[in-house]
Chain A
Amino acid sequence: MKAIEEIRADFPILSRKVYNKPLVYLDNGATTQKPKVVIDALNEVYLSYNANIHRGVHFLSDFSSEAYEKARESVRSFINASKKEEIIFTSGATGSINGIAFSFGERYINQGDEIIISHLEHHANIVPWQMMCERKGAVLRVIPVDDNGDIIFDEYLKLLSSRTKLVSVTQVSNALGNIVPVKELAEAAHSYGVPLLVDGAQGIQHGMVDVRDMNCDFYVFSGHKIYGPTGIGCLYGKEKWLNELPPYQGGGDMVDKVTFAKTTYNELPFKFEAGTTNYPAAIGLAAALDYVDSIGRIDIEIREQELLHYAGERLGEIKKLKIYGNSSRKIPTFSFLIEGIHQYDTGMILDKMGVAVRTGTHCAQPLMDRFGIEGTVRASICFYNTEEEIDILVKGIEKVISMFS
Chain B
Amino acid sequence: MTINEVQDSIIDEFSLFDDWMDKYNLLIDLGKDLPVIDPKYKVKDFLIEGCQSKVWLHPDFDGKIINFTADSDAIITRGIVSLLVKVLSGRTPQEIISADLYFIDKIGLRQNLSPTRSNGLLSMVRQMKLYSMAFDARGKYDAIDK
CB within 8 Å of B: which residues of A?
19, 341-342, 344-345, 348-349, 352, 359-360, 374-375, 399, 403-404
Name the segment of B20-28, B39-47, B91-99 touching the other chain: B20-28
Complex CA gap A403/B26 in Å reads 11
What's the minimum C-beta distance from B25 to chain A, rounded to whole angstroms?
A: 7
Complex CA gap A177/B24 in Å reads 31
Contacts of A360 in B (CB 8 A): 52
Complex CA gap A342/B24 in Å reads 15
Contact A359 B52, beta carbon cutoff 8 Å: yes
- Residues B52-94 near A (CB distance < 8 A): 52-54, 73-77
Contact B52 A345, beta carbon cutoff 8 Å: no
Contact A403 B52, beta carbon cutoff 8 Å: no
Contacts of B28 in A (CB 8 A): 403-404
Contact B21 A345, beta carbon cutoff 8 Å: no
Contacts of A403 in B (CB 8 A): 21, 24-25, 28
Contact B21 A348, beta carbon cutoff 8 Å: no
Contacts of B53 in A (CB 8 A): 342, 344-345
Complex CA gap A348/B79 in Å reads 13
Contacts of A375 in B (CB 8 A): 52
- Can you list 25 residue pairs at the A/B interface with Cβ under 8 Å? A19-B20, A342-B53, A342-B73, A342-B75, A342-B77, A344-B74, A344-B77, A345-B53, A345-B74, A345-B75, A345-B76, A345-B77, A348-B24, A348-B76, A349-B21, A349-B24, A352-B21, A359-B52, A374-B54, A374-B73, A375-B52, A399-B21, A403-B21, A403-B25, A404-B28
Complex CA gap A342/B20 in Å reads 19
Contact B24 A352, beta carbon cutoff 8 Å: yes
Q: When A342-B53, A359-B52, A403-B28 are in contact, do A352 and B75 touch as well, CB less than 8 Å? A: no
Given contacts A404-B28, A404-B75, 14 further A-B contacts (CB under 8 A): A19-B20, A342-B53, A342-B73, A342-B74, A344-B52, A344-B53, A344-B76, A345-B75, A345-B76, A348-B76, A352-B20, A352-B24, A360-B52, A374-B54
> Chain A residue with minimal CB distance to B53?
A344
CB within 8 Å of A: which residues of B?
20-21, 24-25, 28, 52-54, 73-77
How many A-B pairs have beta carbons closer than 8 Å: the answer is 36
> Chain A residue with minimal CB distance to B20?
A352
Complex CA gap A399/B54 in Å reads 23
Complex CA gap A344/B74 in Å reads 7
Complex CA gap A359/B52 in Å reads 8
Contacts of A348 in B (CB 8 A): 24, 76
> Chain B residue with minimal CB distance to A399?
B21
Give me the 5 closest cross-chain CB pairs, A-B, nearest first: A342-B74, A344-B74, A344-B53, A352-B20, A344-B52
Contacts of A19 in B (CB 8 A): 20
Complex CA gap A339/B28 in Å reads 18
Contacts of B75 in A (CB 8 A): 341-342, 345, 404
Complex CA gap A355/B24 in Å reads 16
> Chain A residue with minimal CB distance to B74?
A342
Complex CA gap A354/B77 in Å reads 20
> Chain A residue with minimal CB distance to B116?
A360
Contacts of B24 in A (CB 8 A): 348-349, 352, 403
What's the minimum C-beta distance from B77 to chain A, rounded to whole angstroms?
A: 7
Complex CA gap A342/B28 in Å reads 13
Complex CA gap A349/B19 in Å reads 12
Contacts of A341 in B (CB 8 A): 75
What's the minimum C-beta distance from B136 to chain A, rounded to whole angstroms?
A: 33
What's the minimum C-beta distance from A208 to chain B, rounded to whole angstroms?
A: 35
Complex CA gap A374/B47 in Å reads 15
What's the minimum C-beta distance from A70 to chain B, rounded to whole angstroms?
A: 37
Complex CA gap A19/B53 in Å reads 24
Complex CA gap A348/B121 in Å reads 14
What's the minimum C-beta distance from A1 to chain B, rounded to whole angstroms?
A: 34
Complex CA gap A352/B76 in Å reads 13
Contacts of B25 in A (CB 8 A): 403
Contacts of B77 in A (CB 8 A): 342, 344-345
Contacts of A352 in B (CB 8 A): 20-21, 24
What's the minimum C-beta distance from A91 to chain B, rounded to whole angstroms?
A: 22
What's the minimum C-beta distance from B75 to chain A, rounded to whole angstroms?
A: 5
> Chain B residue with minimal CB distance to A19?
B20
Contacts of B76 in A (CB 8 A): 344-345, 348
What's the minimum C-beta distance from B11 to chain A, rounded to whole angstroms?
A: 20
What's the minimum C-beta distance from B34 to chain A, rounded to whole angstroms?
A: 15
